[in-house]
A and B are shown apart, each in its own frame.
Chain A
């Protein structure tokens, strides 16, 4: 082992990039290895014909404006010193439901707290008091989370009881339970539940504090995208890590975690061994503890913890380069949620397998980024989720036909319910299934949301158990498997948090 590093980061997904930048900035000799040939993981881009597509994650929350930056913009611009041309997303979402008869929804919800409440009152007269209470709760949750974050996992329960009582009173419950307690009109609850697919957990199993924090960030700070697709951000992070002295090796697979007497001593890569005592993993614990380590070095408790958890949704995306403009096609909005219903329990159950009308989160990128494709064209992407490994069981002979069938269903549903024609204008099409995501990211089952945060595995509980979750010293998880759970913004925050904890480990070891 010739090359020794203070830390080796496995995986250049968002969490890995963020962790590597944090380590390099702290002056640590850092190596970032990535099995694919470019950074970003799910935050990337690819080219077909004259179009450059966004593969999966399409927007960040908590960026905010340059004048009033959110945590993610602060981290990227101020902490890392990385420049990205951010573009704001025009509206929160258009929500369409198609199988609720006379209760079918077709609403467009804006960003901005007052704008959102005002619009909700238009659609659901009488919803204002409960919506205002919801926003107040959101604010209180944000304040409590800020306090917990600052306390570094040692929050004083007396302070919480005294100053954050409402947070404690709602923080343990599901979204549905709190909505009911707020006496929110049913229709308002349905409209407000639209973002559930961004977490992929039905509202009866989704922790309220997490959802409220997410919605609040979207409403107050809007959503933002990098102008040149996510690869702009990932490539800028790559450049920054190097300029901070970090090394990045692409096309390099982590094959084995090397240990001696149960202690981590290095990583065996497809290009040789490197020595380190600290591994930051932006990959699944399943891969690291199951496939890369000698089982005698993995405590049974660690294996039980992995088996206790379930994977979050796997993504399926149809990418279209269309030879007409968004105006010509009548695509008035940026973000469309099309669900059979806003009964999220039913929707989540439907996502356990194939179904006739897959729920969809669809984007017309040109509505946020008018110059994203050549003149006279536009870009759309249609995303749906699966809660099981249903794609893995498709016989290989049927794979291409199946993905085309699902893509066609989604395009047809969109055409029918938005009232536009899309299919005749397809100049380029690509379809990514969970198998595609497995191919490029090596995530188990192609899961893009890491471990589900449903029920007991909430972000709050993970943050409160930061210390005890680490069973094998010298290994910490960034990315979607990290404590702040998955999501474009969360993974950046996870990366930084994990690196900081690793820096503390190093300090401790140095004593």
Chain B
């Protein structure tokens, strides 16, 4: 084959001439381009920016009170990013010298976003640093800075059953409220049966609204379950396997959960009895607990105090850090605007480089990329210090 003589045209020399033309042809073509200004921002880039803005500057248009412990804030802005019912906004806060974020599920219909409105419903949490501050300080007319819509807690017909059982506890109703609106408004098409657990009737958020939606569409059903009060028209007790089975009505269902940690612990045990495939159970993300004390396998001394050396853009700063708080909280207390969104290890926005030291990361919150585990990258939102640390962070 070595004497193989290739040619396209009858005489090989013409092929060579053709080859020689490649450079002049390219020179000529390049010179023929227009002199019009260029940009990398095209239609797809503009759409990406619309769908996923890094920050949104919003105005508090209205505040709706739900008893003493919860408020709904109606936020307005120009060209708000659309969202999928169940997603959250990461709210940026400055409280004293701290800078911090909190993720709150959008409680409004996705249809509202197209009219320039979002709603966040926030409940006063026990010892809730941020929720307390928000309820006391967010007033109509004020300004709020948030992320774009984030999160994976939404209905996806290619994956989920057409009938979703929503298990909500307390303020965990908010993403389901948005889903119920989305169904009513024809944005989503699935059946939603809500088992909504509250202590007493007076603790139920949005009862009238939920009952109204259930009347407006037969795709949404609400079952109120009260744990601390026996009353007519309400189920009494907890969200048990039996109640879930009953809600399914003998057909395959996807079960979505959103509520406090105690509810997850209880309901997860109940769900085990149903032997559902894992794909049919979806949890809204677990925020990392404020303290690691109760976490299984925690090897540290929660009363200890350490030093965190923060490396940013070639400069190092030392700040104090408590063993009983996450590394992210230490950064925030020091006023360092470290990136964060979900605060439950999942979204990866806070990904930072641990140059020195050890941290404790509970298994159930460790959603890091495999290679990051080896390379020493951590998600500070769910990492608790076990000693002095050196961390490289890149604020957004």
Contacts and interface: CB of A to CB of B under 8 A. Distances in A.
Interface in B1-51: 1-2, 4-8, 12, 15-16, 18-23, 25-27, 29-51
Contacts of A47: 346, 348, 367-369
A170 B16 CA distance: 8
A417 interface: no
B37 A290 contact: yes
A121 interface: no
A12 B16 CA distance: 40
B47 A461 contact: no
* Interface footprint category on A: 35 or more
A78 interface: no
B200 to A, nearest CB: 35
A251 interface: yes
Contacts of B52: 439
Interface residues of B, number: 73
B394 A252 contact: yes
A408 interface: yes
Chain B interface mostly helix, strand, loop or mixed? loop
A249 B313 contact: yes
Contacts, number: 249
B29 to A, nearest CB: 5
A407 B158 contact: yes
A89 to B, nearest CB: 19
Nearest to A34: B394
A436 B139 CA distance: 36
B129 to A, nearest CB: 25
A446 B45 contact: yes
| Most chain B CB atoms below 10 A, which of A290, A300, A396, A426 | A396
A464 B26 CA distance: 10
Contacts of B16: 161, 165, 168-169
B33 A304 contact: yes
Contacts of B262: none
Interface stretch (A17-25, A195-203, A330-338, A397-405): A397-405
Given A229-B370, A392-B45, A436-B48, A411 B277 contact: no
Contacts of A303: 33, 35-38
Interface stretch (A92-100, A230-238, A498-506): A230-238
A407 B159 CA distance: 12
Contacts of A189: none
Most buried by B among A271, A295, A308, A465: A308
Interface string B125-152: 0000000000000000000000000001
A26 interface: no
Contact of A397 (B2, B82, B158): B82
A245 B209 CA distance: 60
A455 B22 CA distance: 10
Interface in A53-92: none
A146 B149 CA distance: 50
Contact of B45 (A289, A307, A429, A438): A438
Nearest to B372: A235
B229 interface: no
Contacts of A444: 39-42, 44-45
Given A172-B18, A235-B375, A271-B313, A291 B39 contact: yes
A200 B120 CA distance: 45
A215 interface: no
Contacts of B33: 303-309
A289 B40 CA distance: 9
B21 A172 contact: yes
Nearest to B52: A439
A219 interface: no
A106 interface: no
B394 A323 contact: no
A132 B6 CA distance: 12
Contacts of B26: 456-458, 461-462, 465
B371 interface: yes
Nearest to A433: B44
A303 B39 CA distance: 10
Nearest to B376: A239
A446 B159 contact: no
A290 B1 CA distance: 51
B278 A427 contact: yes
A170 B15 contact: yes
Nearest to B277: A323
Interface string A277-320: 00000011111011100010000110111111100001000000
B75 to A, nearest CB: 19
Contacts of B18: 172-173
A397 B114 contact: yes
A406 to B, nearest CB: 11
A181 B7 contact: yes
B26 to A, nearest CB: 4
Given A228-B369, A456-B26, A438 B39 contact: no
Contacts of A255: none
B31 to A, nearest CB: 6
Nearest to A250: B394
B37 A461 contact: no
A137 B12 CA distance: 14
A346 interface: no
Contacts of A429: 156, 158-159
Interface of A: 3, 37-38, 45-48, 50, 52, 132-133, 136-137, 161, 165-166, 168-173, 177-178, 181-182, 228-229, 231-232, 234-236, 238-239, 247, 249-252, 271-272, 283-287, 289-291, 295, 300-301, 303-309, 314, 323, 389, 391-394, 396-397, 399-400, 404, 407-408, 411, 423, 425-429, 434-436, 438-439, 442-446, 455-458, 460-462, 464-465, 468
Sort A-B residue pairs by CB-CB distance and give the 3 closest, nearest first: A392-B43, A308-B33, A392-B44
20 contacts: A45-B369, A47-B346, A50-B278, A169-B16, A169-B19, A170-B6, A170-B15, A181-B8, A228-B369, A251-B339, A251-B395, A303-B33, A303-B37, A392-B46, A408-B158, A435-B48, A444-B42, A446-B45, A456-B29, A468-B27
Given A48-B152, A166-B5, A461-B25, 16 more contacts: A46-B348, A47-B367, A172-B15, A238-B375, A250-B394, A251-B339, A272-B313, A291-B41, A304-B35, A305-B33, A306-B38, A392-B46, A429-B156, A438-B45, A444-B40, A456-B25
